[in-house]
Amino acid sequence: MKTEIWIVRHGETEWNTVGRLQGSKDISLNKIGLQQAQDCANYLNEKPWDCLITSPLNRAYETASVIGKELDLRIIRMDEFKEMNFGDGEGLLIHERNELLENGQFPNQEKMIDFQQRIMQGLDKIIQSYSGQRIILVAHGKVLNELLEILSDGALKSGTLGLVNGCINKLEYYNQIWKIKSYNDKEHLQTYSDIGKI
């Protein structure tokens, strides 16, 4: 059975607009982010869906809430898709982060291998619980970047994809093989900013 997962990056927040690293911080959507969530809902409403899953962090859950209301779907929270914890780098602007960054990591940051294992365990959990279904998943920029790199066997490099807030990324799982059908789709968005891209 074919399983489809369309992953939505959460809508814009004020921290996105100024370039603050959010990570595990629980930041809410701004006005544009709420509009982006509605744009996603309007676009996704053109197809039938079985399931709506989200990271429990506010910016993702608020995006999922707008989508769920439009599509009449119950929201399922999954901790596996929380954004990476960037430790001491969270809340900092780019120039502040550059001063703190050591060997590609911030002090007290979640280890990359642990993060990658966590999000892949989340995908495995979806396949085990919702095989053969059409699923919407609302998640975060770093989550998406790492998933796309892993599932493309490195062809899509994390940090080079320019994923904007509200973009949609389409995955398919069939015969134990993952396929990336598209990524960073943004034609449905009335407004988006390159400032928050990752």
31-to-13, 14, 73, 102, 178 alpha-carbon distances in Å: 8, 9, 23, 35, 35
With both helix axes pointing from N to C terminus, report the angle between 58-71 and 31-44 in degrees, rounded to the nearest 10: 40
**Rounded distance between C-alpha atoms, residue 60 and residue 68, angstroms:** 12
- Which DSSP category does 51 fall into? E
Catalytic option among 83, 90, 146, 149: 83
For residue 191, name the pLDDT band (cuts at 50, 70, 90): confident
Which string of b and e fits 36-60 if b means at least 16 CB within 10 Å?
Answer: bbbbbbebbeeeebebbbbbebbbb
Instruction: Please state, as a whole number, how many other Cβ atoms lie within 10 Å of the Cβ of residue 184.
Output: 16
**Which tens digit of pLDDT belongs to each residue from 116-168?**
999 999 999 999 999 999 999 999 999 999 999 999 999 999 999 999 999 99
For residue 103, name the pLDDT band (cuts at 50, 70, 90): confident
Beta pairing, strands 168-174 & 177-185: antiparallel
For residue 16, name the pLDDT band (cuts at 50, 70, 90): very high
Instruction: Please answer whether residues 11 and 63 qualify as being in contact, where contact means their C-beta atoms are separated by less than 8 angstroms.
Output: yes
**Predicted pLDDT of residue 184:** 97
**Which tens digit of pLDDT belongs to each residue from 67-85?**
999 999 999 999 999 999 9
Residue 95 annotated in active site: no
150-to-110, 120, 146, 159 alpha-carbon distances in Å: 18, 9, 6, 13
**Predicted pLDDT of residue 195:** 67
**Predicted pLDDT of residue 196:** 74
Q: Please provide the average confidence, as pLDDT, over all residues in the chain.
A: 95
- The superfamily in CATH containing domain 3-193 is Phosphoglycerate mutase-like (3.40.50.1240)
Residue 188 annotated in active site: no
**Predicted pLDDT of residue 104:** 81
Asked whether the predicted pLDDT for residue 185 surpasses 90, the reply is yes
Q: Helix H segments across the chain?
A: 14-18, 31-44, 58-71, 94-100, 112-130, 141-151
**Predicted pLDDT of residue 198:** 82
Break the chain into its structural domains and give their ranges. 3-193
**Which tens digit of pLDDT belongs to each residue from 83-94?**
999 999 999 998
